[in-house]
Amino acid sequence: MLDWWFTFFETTQHIRWWHPHDHVEHRGWDRRWKKGESYIGASIDAVEWLAELPPVPARLKFHAAEDFFATQPLQQARDSQALSAAICARIGFGEQVALDDNGDPRDGEMLHLARDTPYGCVLRSRFLLGKSCANAHDELSDEIGFNLMRHCYNEFSYLAQFLPSLYYAENGREAAPLLW
């Protein structure tokens, strides 16, 4: 369901469903994004608040989990059902995001790792910020990290409220379970 969400959302309205306070504008996916099929290799541009910090443009380029993790442990995690979804991206912030030769933002990395449970999923998110800074410890405030944590908590809490209904209504790949 989480992977599917990244192949579904494509408008400012969609990202505002995801976080009605912090998500300001969806500026679009690049040509590598395939609606209903794939987001791996695609880049997205958006504008969002990070709690009290002013809105900032962001660029994310999504990667396969294999680009971030060793193949064998990753497969073991999937086989044992310790991992159901891995949303991985290189990230950058600002009007002029620095990109490497592959078109990846150079500022940091984002990982959202999900494990299915009988009552939904457990999501763990990790961010590596300041990769392009000369001295990230001095250049990035604790406020940025704290506000990013709050933002992430809130957006996935909102997503949990509507994603199951949207998923079953829109993608048609499986029948919705009866809740009673």
pLDDT tier for residue 19 given thresholds of 50, 70 and 90: very high
CB atoms within 10 A of CB 85: 19
Cβ atoms of 55 and 47 within 8 Å: the answer is: yes
Bridge partners of residue 59, in order along the sequence: 45, 92
What pTM was estimated for this model as a whole? 0.94
pLDDT of 178 > 80? The answer is yes
Mean pLDDT of 61-87: 97
pLDDT of residue 168: 94
Average pLDDT, the chain: 95
What tokens were used for 101?
């030769």
Set out the domains of the chain in order of their start, with CATH numbers: 2-170 (3.30.530)
pLDDT of residue 20: 97
Give, for 174, the enclosing helix (H) or strand (E). Answer: none
pLDDT of residue 44: 98
Q: Which of 65, 20, 57, 58 is nearest to 39 (CA)?
A: 65
pLDDT of 172 > 80? The answer is no
